[in-house]
Amino acid sequence: MTDEHARWREARRRAVTAPTGNLALIETRWGTDDAQAALVGQPETVTSSTLRRTDPHTGAEQHGIRLWDAASPAIRDFEDIDVYPYDEKWVLTARYRDVPGERRIPFAHAQDVGFTRDLPVPGDLHLTLAGQDYTLSAFDDDGRLLLVFGDPTNRTETYGSGRFLFVDREPGQETVTLDFNRAFVPPCGFSEHYNCPLPPAQNRLAVPVEAGEKRPMFRPSLEI
């Protein structure tokens, strides 16, 4: 494992255990934006934040709050994130092609039943893996490309619904690096109160991606 990869792993551990990290989320509540009122009766370790989304049925803006507990059971019982050994063969190059105009692609989400949410996909990632060509859809996540992908390791070795991978790209850049050693467990793998996007059909790889994070590990007292 390279020093840079070791630093990335440590940064991931710090991020998920932070006071507002993935493991700290204890509730997502829609239909309100009164973050202070939501703290009434909560322990001092709990903080709140607001969020909003577009209702996929009506298009109306919805407001909500999230509660974060810096001393949550998940943080208390967290041990580590299980990972594959670093393997340079999983640092791959893909071609990026912009799509003219605005394009949104439907993504199913873990807690949605019977409908999808359209997410902005500004371009296509063309990857050849084990002799098979893929056209992958990475959506714009606050100015950064986020690839949601699945592969045969899901449910057996890695998180069941798939994994995430950030893809860095400068404007005008025609090739990008897909370092699957930095594939990570999505937020919903740490708290049931997230609603994560699922890999669309075009992002499901036929080859087992034996790189990156597998699953979070907890002491036996915790069940998520």
Given a cut of 90, is residue 48 above it in pLDDT? yes
Give the separation between CA 97 and CA 148, rounded to whole angstroms.
18
Give percent of the chain with pLDDT exceeding 70. 98
Average pLDDT, the chain: 95
Give the separation between CA 159 and CA 61, rounded to whole angstroms.
31
pTM: 0.94
Q: Are 162 and 154 in contact (CB under 8 A)?
A: yes
pLDDT, tens only, 89-140: 999 999 999 988 889 999 999 999 888 999 999 999 999 999 999 999 999 9
Given a cut of 70, is residue 221 above it in pLDDT? no
pLDDT at 208: 98
Model confidence at 17, in pLDDT bands (50, 70, 90)? very high
Residues 167-185, mean pLDDT to the nearest whole number: 96
pLDDT at 114: 84
The residues pairing with 89 across neighbouring beta strands, listed in sequence order, are: none
Model confidence at 2, in pLDDT bands (50, 70, 90)? confident
User: Domain locations in the chain?
Assistant: 3-218
Given a cut of 90, is residue 222 above it in pLDDT? no
pLDDT at 58: 85
Q: Are 68 and 47 in contact (CB under 8 A)?
A: yes
Residues 35-40, mean pLDDT to the nearest whole number: 96
Among 55-64, 75-84, 113-122, whose mean pLDDT is lowest?
55-64
Give the separation between CA 147 and CA 141, rounded to whole angstroms.
10
Residues 65-81, mean pLDDT to the nearest whole number: 97
Query: Distance between the two ends of the chain, CA-based, in angstroms?
Result: 30
